[in-house]
Amino acid sequence: MNKFTVFSLIGYIRIVLIDVLGGTTILKTLTRFKAEELLPKDELKQLSKSRLDQLFHIAKTTTPYYKAASNYEGLEVLEKATIRQSNHEFISSSFKQKMYPKSTGGSTGIPLNYLTTPASRSAMWAGILMSWQVAGYQFGDKVAFIAGTSIVKTNLKHKLFYFLFNIEVYSVYDLSDKKLKEYIRKINESKVAIIYGYASALGHIATYLLRHGPIEFPYLKGIICTAEVLTENTRHQIQTAFFVPVFNQYGCNEAGVSAYECKHHQMHLISSRSYYEVDSEQHLISTDLTNLGFIIMKYKTGDLIEFDEATVCACKSNYPIIKHIMGRTCDIVTDYEGHSLHSCFFNILFRDDKSIKQFQIVFSDTSLKIYLNVDPDLAVEAHYEKYITEIKKHLHFDSYKLIFNAPFLKFENAKHRFVIQED
């Protein structure tokens, strides 16, 4: 055996360990997805539909929310607000495995709490692995996550998971030149092979590299952007700065949506994991077919999607091709001293506070305003001051202000944006 196969065998064993210790089936799911994507289109559709029928049956017979439903077609499109209101009604009484609380911010600034299952987690990770493998990932490779990490210290289990996966986390909270210099040194020192991170943060780092470079990354194989819209401009910039191919990955976990870009740069939706529809306004509506514990069906993801039904991809995958994703954008918030912070920071900052129904950050050169939508009884500054303290650690403004239950500002396209820059 040569050095590389021994290396990836050890890497493989590490993922086996993740599966054994965490009760997941990531490797099995990855193998399944790879087999299913080669099925003829019709068979894939049937497969997804029959899984939907099974899920509907479970939902109807074991959850209060779907008790009175007669068929999938008759279900109303599910909004985040409904899930928030009747949260426990989506739990299946027949599901006996452990479930894990998860929350998501999305692009609207309204956090959503839900539960995920070992199968659903496995599907999410298998989908991510598919995207990494296109970029040259081998089991065991060092992966850098450039993302928003939780403010609360991660627990031991989490740390072990990242250790076994060989993932190193680089927080996007501080993207100052000083920090970026340190990140670049660390990426090379620890022989990072794959970078997986927010498109906007990677674009920001690319600009730094182009200003200070050329800087070489001898161990780097490829970069995968996630969580936000990757524009062709940003992709080109990242590619030029890092000298490696850049791919896109897209997911909306609560809806079972997992898509990866193949080597021909087509974005394939893993349609055997989810049952999807697109409404007349191009909203992606989806059902996670792998979450049998906390069942949410016909869920409005908040993303606008355009599919390309006609193209047959040269990679031979029959997973449907996404032509266009319009939706998520995150911005980099910068103060007058040049400290930069990824706007998703705010999503993570507020997501565990159940009293906050929605938020919006409005900033200018001198001031930062936090608009919070909370119950009138809870509109007490003292409770929320801790967030200002946290923000002050990263960004400096002359004034910080909390504003309760005032109407949110609309951005040019009238879509709710949770971070807005004022002149």
| Smallest gap from residue 276 Cβ to Zn ion (A) | 18
Angle at alpha carbon of residue 87, lines to 286 and 292, rounded to 5°: 50
| Smallest gap from residue 212 Cβ to Zn ion (A) | 35
Cα(99)–Cα(121) distance, rounded to whole angstroms? Answer: 10
Locus of tokens 């005032």: 406
Stretch that binds Zn ion, among 24-32, 41-49, 55-63, 262-270 (CB under 5 A): 262-270
**Beta sheet of 419-421, edge-to-edge order:** 399-404, 367-373, 358-363, 419-421
Give the x/- contact pattern for Zn ion in 309-328, rule: CB under 5 A.
----x-x-x-----------
Given candidates 55, 112, 262, 292, which one binds Zn ion under the rule CB under 5 A? Answer: 262
How is residue 286 written in tokens? 């989806």
Q: Which is nearer to Zn ion, 28 or 264 (CB)?
A: 264
Stretch that binds Zn ion, among 26-34, 59-67, 239-247, 255-263 (CB under 5 A): 255-263
Q: Which amino acid is at 80?
A: K
| Smallest gap from residue 115 Cβ to Zn ion (A) | 33
Q: 130 CB contacts (<8 Å, ≥6 apart)?
A: 30, 33, 34, 260, 270
Stretch that binds Zn ion, among 25-33, 59-67, 150-158, 257-265 (CB under 5 A): 257-265
Give, as ranges, the residues between 112 and 171 that touch Zn ion (CB under 5 A): none
| Smallest gap from residue 322 Cβ to Zn ion (A) | 11
**Residues 29 and 19 sit within 8 Å (Cβ to Cβ):** no
Give, as ranges, the residues between 263 and 282 that touch Zn ion (CB under 5 A): 264, 266
Angle at alpha carbon of residue 189, lines to 187 and 191, rounded to 5°: 65
Q: Which residues pair with 421 in a beta bridge?
A: 363
Q: Which is nearer to Zn ion, 309 or 337 (CB)?
A: 309
Stretch that binds Zn ion, among 135-143, 232-240, 254-262, 338-346 (CB under 5 A): 254-262
Cα(216)–Cα(2) distance, rounded to whole angstroms? Answer: 26
Q: Which is nearer to Zn ion, 197 or 320 (CB)?
A: 320
Q: Which is nearer to Zn ion, 88 or 264 (CB)?
A: 264
**Residues 201 and 209 sit within 8 Å (Cβ to Cβ):** no
Radius of gyration of the chain from Cα atoms? Answer: 22
Closest CA relative to residue 215, chosen from 205, 225, 204: 205
| Smallest gap from residue 5 Cβ to Zn ion (A) | 27
Stretch that binds Zn ion, among 89-97, 118-126, 212-220, 258-266 (CB under 5 A): 258-266
Dihedrals φ, ψ of 268, to 5°?
-105, 130
Q: Which is nearer to Zn ion, 315 or 379 (CB)?
A: 315
| Smallest gap from residue 306 Cβ to Zn ion (A) | 17
Determine if the peptide bond prior to 101 is cis (ω within 30°): no
Cα(249)–Cα(267) distance, rounded to whole angstroms? Answer: 8
Evaluate the CA torsion angle 387, 88, 287, 47 in order and state its sign: positive
Q: Which is nearer to Zn ion, 192 or 230 (CB)?
A: 230
Give the three-state DSSP class for 73: coil
Number of amino acids touching Zn ion (CB under 5 A):
6
Task: State the angle between helix axes of 118-134 and 3-22 in degrees (0 to 180), rounded to the nearest 10.
Answer: 160
Q: Which is nearer to Zn ion, 136 or 213 (CB)?
A: 136
Q: Which is nearer to Zn ion, 24 or 131 (CB)?
A: 131
Q: Which is nearer to Zn ion, 175 or 262 (CB)?
A: 262
Q: Which is nearer to Zn ion, 308 or 353 (CB)?
A: 308
| Smallest gap from residue 268 Cβ to Zn ion (A) | 6
Residue 364 to residues 148, 367, 400, 402, 423, Cα–Cα distance (Å) = 23, 5, 11, 15, 6
| Smallest gap from residue 37 Cβ to Zn ion (A) | 9
Q: Which is nearer to Zn ion, 274 or 318 (CB)?
A: 318
Give the x/- contact pattern for Zn ion in 231-250, rule: CB under 5 A.
--------------------
| Smallest gap from residue 135 Cβ to Zn ion (A) | 14
| Smallest gap from residue 323 Cβ to Zn ion (A) | 13
> Which chain residues interact with Zn ion by CB under 5 A?
262, 264, 266, 313, 315, 317
